[in-house]
Chain A
Amino acid sequence: MSINATLIGQMITFTLLVWFTMKYVWPPIIAALEERKTKISEGLAAAEKGQEEIKLAEKKAKSLLKEAKEQSAEIVSAAQKRANQLVEESKDQAKKEGERLLEAAKAQIEQEMLHAKESLRKEVSSLALRAAEQILKEEIDKAKHQDILSKAADQLG
């Protein structure tokens, strides 16, 4: 159990070991540990952020969907309104057109009637005239009795 020079040798070895550990072993390992720590915390933060973003995006999508639904409902109702209006308008127009056509037809009928009356009157008068001519033959002078004839024609109308 003697203390001897081995002690000095051991102390030198120890000093070398400590120096080496201090210089070449400790710093890189601690640096790697620190780096991993930051990486992990960064990763966690990023994950949290991502989740938050997803929530936000979901919210946004929901609101967009709602808006789109509202818009589509609006469009549908507007279209329905417009269709109703169109139907109404076309009904009106048709009614008006019909009335106009009816009116025109009535006017034409009136005119045709007048025309027919006129031509009938003329024919009747000429027929009467010819009949009278036949009956009277030479006894009647056209020029002399023109006045009477036209009066008769007037009475026919």
Chain B
Amino acid sequence: MSTEGGATGYIVHHLTPLSVGEGFWTLHLDTLFFSAFLGGLFILFFKTVAERATSGVPGLAQNIAETLVEFVDTQVKDSFHGRSPLIAPLSLTIFCWVFMWNAMDMLPVDLLPMIGSLMGMEYMRVVPSTDLNGTFALSISVFFLIFFYSIKVKGLMGFAKEMTCTPFGPKMMPFNLLLKTVEELAKPISLGLRLFGNLYAGELVFILIALLPPIVQPLLGFPWAVFHILVITLQAFIFMVLTIVYLSLAHEDH
């Protein structure tokens, strides 16, 4: 349990990342480690399958991978009508990676931090999507891609025109620019905050449940965990679908 004593201390302890450095150059080692580790798992699994992929009868691993790939591919084909070698793999990566981040939530809240403390690590936050840096890293990368594709497809002038002349025509140029800027900035912010908020709140509830007497814990912990299976998948799915939608909007020429 807590080293500082009391419920508040316990909660704060659980939500404090293991970090090094000062100011902006602080690094959350736990976020970096777990996301990279999960990314490694993702790559390992899919790379193995991709290497052995046959058009014959698929094995279990290939079946799982193919189900995911087809699921993502369908989503991409449904909302994105252009041709892009990037969007589908990007969506697959986002979906799987975010799903794995979120799934860390299902581990008992004290398990990994306890192991960590045995190894001398004072703090540990195991769910990368409860770190704003993690979710914003994804959403800002997506934002850059939106920016890049908007300019690539519409040209610099086309993009400038879209930013200044819609939705109210050239006469309202400064107002249009303000509106569009807010609209574009709202995309990564809402994308990142939505995922962070859901998972942070979820993790917080798990921590609160862990503070209850042991007999009551399963009564609340079990339903919340079951509910979280849905949240985990749903949030990964929403992140992916919105990415596809934003990128297809970027490809659309008005």
> A residues touching B (Cβ–Cβ < 8 Å)?
1-11, 13-18, 20-22, 24-33, 35-36, 39
In the bound complex, residues from chain A placing their C-beta under 8 Å from that of B49 are 25, 29
Contact B131 A6 (CB under 8 A): yes
Residues of B contacting A3 in the complex (Cβ-Cβ under 8 angstroms): 24, 132-133, 136
Bound: A9/B140 CA distance, A: 13
Q: Do residues A15 and B43 form an inter-chain contact, with CB atoms below 8 A?
A: no
Q: Which of B40-57 contact A (CB under 8 A)?
A: 42-43, 46-47, 49-51, 53-56
B15 closest partner in A (C-beta):
A1
List, in ascending order, chain B residues with CB within 8 A of A39's CB: 55
Q: Please, which residues of chain A bring their CB within 8 A of the CB of B56?
A: 36
- List 15 additional A-B contacts (Cβ < 8 Å) besides A6-B32, A6-B137, A10-B35: A2-B26, A2-B132, A3-B132, A4-B28, A6-B28, A8-B137, A9-B137, A11-B141, A17-B39, A21-B92, A22-B89, A24-B50, A31-B53, A33-B55, A39-B55
Cβ contact within 8 Å between A18 and B89: yes
CB of B65 closer than 8 Å to a CB of A: yes
Q: Determine the chain B residues whose CB is within 8 A of the CB of A26 once the complex forms.
A: 50, 69, 88-89, 92
* CB <8 Å contact, B27 and A13: no
**Distance between A35 CB and nearest chain B CB, rounded to angstroms:** 3
| Contact A10:B138 (CB < 8 A) given known A3-B132, A25-B50, A26-B88 | yes
Min Cβ gap B28→A in Å is: 4
Judged by a CB distance under 8 angstroms, whether B206 is at the interface is: no
B36 near A: Cβ within 8 Å? Answer: yes
A13-B35, A14-B141, A22-B85 known; A5-B50 Cβ under 8 A? no
Of the candidates A6, A13, A22, the one whose C-beta lies within 8 Å of that of B26 is: A6
Contact between chains at A33 and B70 (CB < 8 Å):
yes
A interface, over-half SS: helix
- The 7 tightest CB contacts between A and B, nearest first, are A10-B137, A35-B55, A6-B133, A32-B53, A22-B89, A26-B89, A36-B55
Q: How far is the CB of A27 from chain B (nearest CB, A)?
A: 8
Contact in complex: B132, A1 (CB < 8 Å): yes
Per the bound structure, the CA–CA distance linking A24 and B88 in Å amounts to: 13
State the CA gap A13–B134 with chains docked (Å): 10
- Given the interface pairs A21-B46, A36-B55, the reply to whether A29 lies near B66 with Cβ below 8 Å is yes
CA–CA, A33 to B56, complex, Å?
Answer: 9
- Taking a contact as CB atoms under 8 Å apart, the answer to whether A29 and B53 are in contact is yes
Asked whether B36 lies within 8 Å of A13 as measured between CB atoms, the reply is: yes
Interface string of B74-92 (1 = CB under 8 A from A): 0000000000011011101
Q: How far is the CA of A112 from the CA of B115 in the complex (A)?
A: 149
CB distance from B137 to the nearest CB of A (A): 3
CA distance A10 to B138 in the complex (A): 8
